[in-house]
């Protein structure tokens, strides 16, 4: 089934993705931020999947590949690693969910992908969207009916036990993040016991 250009026509993605087009990550980005991607197999056949990204060092994806039985859903956790967020910089990161119907007696996943013909592959692309918390979130104002996400200052000032192998010199980022948090808390209009 070749097109006028000689390329093979691709099948439409069989899996139903939730969310379908955008992976949203809500800051602050000083710690790992996780979002979930649900992959549902509405077909009557097993489907192999793998998740790829344009920025593999920035994300941890679990599971990043597998087989989804007919009628089942797999939840994929996408973990964005901490970074210095710049609101003026638009994210160009993208993810692709690649799928293929599983052969009847599958034993070697790597071989399935290696031997796959281009016209058997299906894919969906998602873009990454970075969102900062709203002003209410920054001020520590919690909407009614939700648990507060503010930690009291007294807890931050208590000594924290760390493993004997931990060395602050090897973790300058940890110290700077701690200093930033302490500085933010000291400038906050809500400083004092919560």
In a domain, residue 79? The reply is yes
pLDDT category at 144 given cuts 50, 70, 90 is low
Per-residue pLDDT reduced to its tens digit, 48-73: 999 999 999 999 999 999 999 999 99
Q: Is residue 159 part of a domain?
A: no
> For 56, what's the count of Cα atoms within 13 Å in the CB-facing half-sphere?
3
In a domain, 149, yes or no: no
Give a yes or no: residue 37 inside a domain.
Answer: yes
Q: Is residue 70 part of a domain?
A: yes
54, 77 contact by CB (below 8 A): no
Q: How many angstroms separate the CA atoms of 47 and 74, rounded?
A: 11
Domain tally for the chain?
Answer: 1
Instruction: Say if 10 falls within a structural domain.
Output: no
Output the domain CATH number for residue 48: 2.60.40.10
> When comparing pLDDT for 112 and 180, which is higher?
112
The reply to whether 27 falls in a domain is yes
Can you tell me the distance from the alpha carbon of 121 to that of 101, in angstroms, rounded to the nearest whole number? 8
Using the Cα atoms of residue 107, residue 113, residue 116 and residue 120 in order, give the sign of their dihedral.
positive
Domain housing 61 = 16-132
Q: How confident is the model over 151-194, as pLDDT tens digits? A: 433 334 334 444 444 444 444 444 444 444 544 444 444 444 54
Structure tokens at 103: 């052969």
Instruction: Report yes or no: 6 and 111 within 8 Å, Cβ to Cβ.
Output: no
53's enclosing H/E stretch is: strand 47-53
Q: Is the pLDDT of residue 148 over 70?
A: no
Q: Is the pTM of this model over 0.75?
A: no
In a domain, residue 167? The reply is no
How does residue 24 score in pLDDT terms, banded at 50, 70 and 90? very high
- Rounded Cα distance, 76 and 58, in Å: 16
91: pLDDT confidence band, cut at 50, 70 and 90?
confident
């Amino acid at each position: 089934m070749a097109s006028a250009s000689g390329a093979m026509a691709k099948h439409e993605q069989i899996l139903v993705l939730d969310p379908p087009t955008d992976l949203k990550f809500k800051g602050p980005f000083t710690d790992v931020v996780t979002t979930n991607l649900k992959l549902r197999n509405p077909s009557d056949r097993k489907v192999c999947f793998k998740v790829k990204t344009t920025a593999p060092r920035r994300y941890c994806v679990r599971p990043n590949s597998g087989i989804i039985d007919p009628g089942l859903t797999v939840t994929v956790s996408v973990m964005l690693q901490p970074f210095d967020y710049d609101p003026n910089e638009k994210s160009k990161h993208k993810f692709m969910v690649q799928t293929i119907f599983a052969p009847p007696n599958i034993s070697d996943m790597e071989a399935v992908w290696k031997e796959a013909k281009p016209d058997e592959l299906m894919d969906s692309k998602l873009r990454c969207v970075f969102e900062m918390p709203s002003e209410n979130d920054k001020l520590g104002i919690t909407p009614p009916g939700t648990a507060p996400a503010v930690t009291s200052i007294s807890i931050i000032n208590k000594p924290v036990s760390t493993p004997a192998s931990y060395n602050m010199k090897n973790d300058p980022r940890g110290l700077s993040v701690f200093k930033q948090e302490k500085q933010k808390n000291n400038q906050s209009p809500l400083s004092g016991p919560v």
